A = this chain, B = another copy of it.
């Protein structure tokens, strides 16, 4: 299964709506295809300028290593040098903080990743899950 731009747009809208409905800070959301290339990105009113890089870095790290943002985040806490190494290996596109999620289809295949930034890491992750599940796909956040 391949992510369409329409599905990606709906995930972004659902993640941002989740943020608004729960009183979060303005969120920014990116959907990457299975190769890590942007399909859709939006930055909400009031989001700071660097949000694209943050959202992409969260999603990109998940995708390159095939791990959720939670797993990456725990590993970064335990091994700070791991993050250093990954940032080097992936040209700085690696943000090991919650808010990134693998997107899996019904067969379990990774078909992309979604990254959220703007509120606390836990809230970002919850919004990522909301966005992915809103279109009937499986989130690994």
Which A residues are within 8 Å of any B CB, using their own CB?
Answer: 4-5, 9, 33-45, 47-54, 57, 63-67, 76-77, 79-97, 110
Contacts and interface: CB of A to CB of B under 8 A. Distances in A.
A89 B43 contact: no
Contact of A64 (B33, B53, B80, B86): B53
A96 B85 contact: yes
A38 to B, nearest CB: 4
Given A34-B35, A84-B84, A89-B92, A65 B48 contact: yes
B36 A35 contact: yes
Copies in the complex: 4
B43 A5 contact: yes
Identify which of A9, A92, A93 gathers the most chain B CB atoms within 10 Å of its CB: A92
Given A50-B64, A82-B97, A95-B89, A38 B35 contact: no
Contacts of A39: 42-43
B48 A43 contact: no
A137 B106 CA distance: 28
A50 B63 contact: yes
B64 A110 contact: no
18 contacts: A5-B43, A5-B45, A33-B35, A34-B35, A39-B43, A48-B66, A50-B65, A50-B90, A53-B64, A77-B81, A81-B82, A81-B83, A85-B94, A85-B97, A86-B95, A87-B87, A88-B90, A90-B92
